Structure 1
Amino acid sequence: MLDQPSMIHKNYLNRARPSTDSLTIVIKIGTSSICDEKTHFPLLSNLSMIVETILQLKARGHRVVLVTSAAVGTGLRRLNIDVKPKKLAAIQAIAAVGQGRLMSLYDDLFGQFNQPIAQILLTKNDLADRSQYLNAVNCFEELLDMGVVPVVNENDTICSSEIRFGDNDTLSAIAAGMVKADYLFLMTDVDCLYTDNPRTNPLAKPVWQCDDIQALREQIVVSAPGTSLGTGGMVTKLIAAELATAAGVTTVIARGSTPQNILKILSDTEQNDLPLHTRFTAKDNPLVDRKWWILHGLKSIGKIYVDHGAYRALVAKQRSSLFAAGIVKVEGDFVAQQSALILYERKDAAGAIIEVVEIGKGLVNYSCTEIGRIMGCKSADIPEILGYIESDCIVNRENLVITALREA
């Protein structure tokens, strides 16, 4: 994967790309590309280039979603505060001031070209309920069909640590999955992903193409944090790329100060003057919408541990439901239709746990108390034990996402 850059570049150019006739594109712009890190003044020239790039993409028939950071940075400038505070309530108040100003900046810039925009503020709670998730998806679709550019940000004003996405890299990956995007562009303060930090290691080499993110993690050094205003860094971009590619979205890391490079990256493969960037290949078998929502839209409330037979059946077959007979332990306090992790404890000959394997995640048909009563039992015994039966399985295969890659 990490050959000499010239060879990587050559192989990259020879790869087939999806048609660019009409694409859905999500562009994530970080704080460092919007605000000066020290003065917090908006980088108007860069914002103008971002807007012009989006308009050129739309002129070519593409649908574009913009995920933006910098509500806090913009708020600090508006309130003449030099340093971002640590108190959560203060940060939320500053974000409330900055979000309005940030949208005003975008509206002014897009308005010069009569391009309507729409503000969408999200938290994890907004996506945890299936109906709210679908409402958000439908809203995105309607806006894009109307020719509007949705401008997305995390709702920092009401977010607590429990309902935060954590950073806008993750939010952009979730948004890309929701709109079934073809491309996600993570615009940052470097040209691409490197094998090490290029600011401290002159031997660091650019990574042009990545087909296996897990294998890539074992070959590179990624430790650079985000800026003093931002929350992300290269680590979060790898996580975002993993989320987005799992949904079938090709993900690209590129420099935020040159957003016009997006047009070149999307152009024909014949040209040999492509700007530096890193492309993460989309998965050939992406998760369908419901399973994507279960995996990334829901917080796991409990844990269900299974025996070796259930582990083998779930991982090997990939399409099996989870039955009570294969459950050995349940943890957490949850009710029916909440999300739980499915786990397997691998033990040595003496019975000591040597590894906990995460098999997947699913929506349960019974509460933790009910599962505790019927675990290890056959489905036919459930009515006698509980006095009723909601389902013959604990998790239906349609509501179960298998994440374990190794063979049982």
Structure 2
Amino acid sequence: MHVIPPFEEQPLPAWKRAVLKVGSSLLADAGRGLSPRHALGLAQFVSASIGAGREVVIVSSGAVAAGRGILQRKAESGAGIAERQALAALGQAQLVGLWQRFFERPVAQVLLTHDDLRNRRRYLNARATLRELLALGAIPVVNENDTVSVDELKLGDNDNLAAIVAALVDADALFIATDIDGFYTANPRTSPENAQPINEVEALTPEFYAMAGGSGSAVGTGGMRTKLEAAARAAAAGIETFLFNGTRAATVQKLAQGVLQGTRFRAAQNRLAARKYWLRNVPLEAGRIVVDAGAAAALAEKGASLLPGGVVAAEGDFRRGDMIELAVRQDDGTTRAIARGITQYSAVDVRQIAGRHSRDIETILGYNYGDNVIHRDDLVLL
């Protein structure tokens, strides 16, 4: 029998906010619903991280498996989309209940589709909700909205969803818990003689994808390839990914001690640089906000967000979530572009709140998307 070498222990880099993705294979109990066996250790890692002043968002699979358990159905390949959607609807409450039993603080269910994250306005709403939940001390448990997400449910890919959520909440790290020790040169289950552990990946090349296999369990629908895709997506956002075996209690305990025994996928650049690059290259909408000299100076010199008090005018017909240009009015009456950013308010709204204090926004508009017209995190200077 061929013995596969173990993964080396390596120190985790410092992080403040992370997304933890947990696959169905760690939660499902062979057709009997959900099991707390492996979830408990992962929850203890989350609790230890929060106790150390960090924030964690959980992206959890398992709703379909929970639904099967309620109906006492075994996992079957080729199950119809409508059936899987119904099972997800049945199992979703049990999935959230499983996580809530491990934490004294509240757990919040957040259901997303990839469409929610491709649409800029829904993207901003989802990000604002997740950030507020973290600020309130809750633990968001995110899952794909399987009951309506037909195309994505066919893929069953929460790995990529976790990477998208990591970018959404500006996470420093993406932890992917699976039922395999890490990334190997070959599938250790089918080709152990060719499987060598890969402790660290600097950049994902086609050769690495060629090494990836398919799904390793009957209940999971994602395989190693989707985990590589997620790591690549996270790397593009400046986020490192850590792949580890969530079924090994000792491995999970080491994570809480700042030690990884698995595979580390490095980011090509730091998170801030990646986000600024993205902001610089998103297509502009036909509109802009003109600011006064004081606001322009605060943006350039103090790294401030744009408040309504510094707005002079709004040009064009942009909407909330659009990428627009910011310009400053000069002494000769002309304007000069100084920045670009994602606006929290539409052109119609900005015209009404221009020059006013942030505390007056709700009184004027009847609603409030926040104190900033453009948040500093969504703005890049030209």
The TM-score range, normalised by the shorter chain, is 0.5 to 0.7
1:58 maps to which residue? Answer: 50
Contact 1:165–1:171, Cα closer than 8 Å, also in 2:
no
The sequence identity of aligned pairs, in percent, is 36
Shift in Å at residue 226 of structure 1?
4.1
Q: Structure 1 residues 248 and 76, CA, compared in 2 at 3 Å: closer, same or farther?
A: same
Contact 1:25–1:182, Cα closer than 8 Å, also in 2:
yes
2:102 maps to which residue? Answer: 109
Contact 1:50–1:260, Cα closer than 8 Å, also in 2:
no
Normalising by the residue count of structure 2, what TM-score does the alignment of the two structures yield? 0.66
Amino acid at match of 2:24: T
Q: Structure 1 residues 275 and 128, CA, compared in 2 at 3 Å: closer, same or farther?
A: closer
Asked whether 1:237 is paired with 2:227, we answer: yes
Residues 1-52 of structure 1: CA distance to partner in whole angstroms, max 9, x if unpaired?
xxx979x959x66xxx6434xx10111010010012x333322222222222
Asked whether 1:19 is paired with 2:14, we answer: yes
Shift in Å at residue 259 of structure 1?
5.9
| Aligned equivalents of 2:189, 2:153: Cα separation in 1 | 34
2:264 maps to which residue? Answer: 279
| Aligned equivalents of 2:189, 2:265: Cα separation in 1 | 23
| Aligned equivalents of 1:152, 1:34: Cα separation in 2 | 15
**Matched residue of 1:44: which SS?**
coil
Asked whether 1:33 is paired with 2:23, we answer: no
1:94 maps to which residue? Answer: 87
Q: Paired residue for 2:238, among 248, 262, 271?
A: 248
1:129 maps to which residue? Answer: 119
| Aligned equivalents of 2:74, 2:238: Cα separation in 1 | 41
Shift in Å at residue 147 of structure 1?
1.2
Q: Paired residue for 1:208, among 183, 199, 210?
A: 199
Structure-to-structure mapping, 1:5-404, within 5 angstroms? 9=8, 18-20=13-15, 23-36=16-29, 38-84=30-76, 86-110=79-103, 114-161=104-151, 166-203=156-193, 204-214=195-205, 216-217=207-208, 221-258=211-248, 261-262=251-252, 264-265=254-255, 267=257, 276-286=261-271, 287-288=274-275, 291=278
Shift in Å at residue 104 of structure 1?
1.7
Contact 1:103–1:119, Cα closer than 8 Å, also in 2:
yes
2:304 maps to which residue? Answer: none
Q: Structure 1 residues 265 and 44, CA, compared in 2 at 3 Å: closer, same or farther?
A: closer
Residues 148-177 of structure 1: CA distance to partner in whole angstroms, max 9, x if unpaired?
110000000111116877400011000001
| Aligned equivalents of 1:75, 1:26: Cα separation in 2 | 25
Shift in Å at residue 223 of structure 1?
1.9
Shift in Å at residue 199 of structure 1?
1.6
Shift in Å at residue 88 of structure 1?
1.1
| Aligned equivalents of 2:279, 2:155: Cα separation in 1 | 15
Amino acid at match of 1:214: T
**Matched residue of 1:27: which SS?**
strand
Contact 1:122–1:152, Cα closer than 8 Å, also in 2:
yes
**Matched residue of 1:109: which SS?**
coil
Shift in Å at residue 258 of structure 1?
3.0
Amino acid at match of 1:217: F
Amino acid at match of 1:55: S
| Aligned equivalents of 2:279, 2:34: Cα separation in 1 | 35
Contact 1:249–1:282, Cα closer than 8 Å, also in 2:
yes
| Aligned equivalents of 1:160, 1:289: Cα separation in 2 | 33
Residues 111-157 of structure 1: CA distance to partner in whole angstroms, max 9, x if unpaired?
xxx21110000002212321110111111111111111100000001
Amino acid at match of 1:278: T
Amino acid at match of 1:211: E
**Matched residue of 1:147: which SS?**
coil
| Aligned equivalents of 2:253, 2:70: Cα separation in 1 | 33
Amino acid at match of 2:36: L
| Aligned equivalents of 1:178, 1:25: Cα separation in 2 | 11
**Matched residue of 2:244: which SS?**
strand
Normalising by the residue count of structure 1, what TM-score does the alignment of the two structures yield? 0.62
* Gaps in structure 2 of 5+ consecutive residues: 284-317, 324-339, 343-382
Aligned residues: 287
Residues 362-403 of structure 1: CA distance to partner in whole angstroms, max 9, x if unpaired?
x9xxxxxxxxxxxxxxxxxxxxxxxxxxxxxxxxx989xxxx
Amino acid at match of 2:32: H
Q: Structure 1 residues 180 and 266, CA, compared in 2 at 3 Å: closer, same or farther?
A: farther
Amino acid at match of 1:32: S
Contact 1:123–1:163, Cα closer than 8 Å, also in 2:
no
| Aligned equivalents of 1:282, 1:259: Cα separation in 2 | 27
| Aligned equivalents of 1:196, 1:176: Cα separation in 2 | 28
